[in-house]
Amino acid sequence: MTIGTDILRPDQILTPDQVARGMTGDAGVVTTTVEKAVNWARSNAVWPALFGLACCAIEMMHTQASRQDLSRFGMEVMRASPRQSDMIIVAGRLSRKMAPVIRRIYDQMPEPKWVISMGDCASCGGVFNNYALVQGVDEIIPVDVYVPGCPPRPEALIQGILKLHEKIQAEKLDGWRDRAPQDDRA
């Protein structure tokens, strides 16, 4: 079988008897660690939560559409429920009134969870330097990846998602516990 072809010839397909006798054909052997396998599965099945606040949200929606197609990266659908998602993309400027809402959504998400800050307004307040807007979503929730731009193109968001995939694949199995806020009530 040549590398890069997905179609097997009939003589390359193993019968159950051949597999039972220990014949592996050209399939070879795959070895890995549990940590790498789990992180691979985590990074390829990230379900983002909706949190579009301004013009960056239009670009986030475009990224989910057919031309860019986030389904290639395991993000089949944007979730409206925080309990069904493990990543939140904060797209746009965050007002002080919305800060408690995003904190509550973040707290309701199951661990491990990740955050992408999309656009200049979400990352640092952008051109809006006033009392009504949060100067960076990292004042409210921890951010894993920042996507620059005003508004960032869908390709930039995809690049940020791929950076997040790299970060997830490099984590320890319980590495997310280091990022989780500690409960002082215990």
Q: Supply the pLDDT for residue 103.
A: 92
Asked whether residue 183 carries a pLDDT value surpassing 50, the answer given is: no
Tens-digit pLDDT profile for residues 31-71: 678 888 888 888 888 888 878 888 888 888 888 887 878 87
Q: Supply the pLDDT for residue 174.
A: 74
Using CA atoms, how far apart are residues 101 and 121, in angstroms rounded to an integer?
A: 17
Residue from 110, 105, 139 nearest 122 by CA: 139
Q: Supply the pLDDT for residue 185.
A: 41
Q: How far is CA 22 from CA 16, 50, 60, in A?
A: 10, 49, 49
Outline where the chain has alpha helix (H): 16-20, 34-43, 55-64, 99-108, 120-124, 154-170, 176-179
Mean pLDDT over 166-185 rounds to 68
Q: Is the pTM of this model over 0.85?
A: no
Tens-digit pLDDT profile for residues 64-114: 887 878 878 877 778 788 888 888 988 888 888 999 999 999 999 888 888
Q: How confident is the model at residue 154 (pLDDT cuts 50, 70, 90)?
A: confident
Using CA atoms, how far apart are residues 34 and 20, in angstroms rounded to an integer?
A: 25
Asked whether residue 1 carries a pLDDT value surpassing 80, the answer given is: no
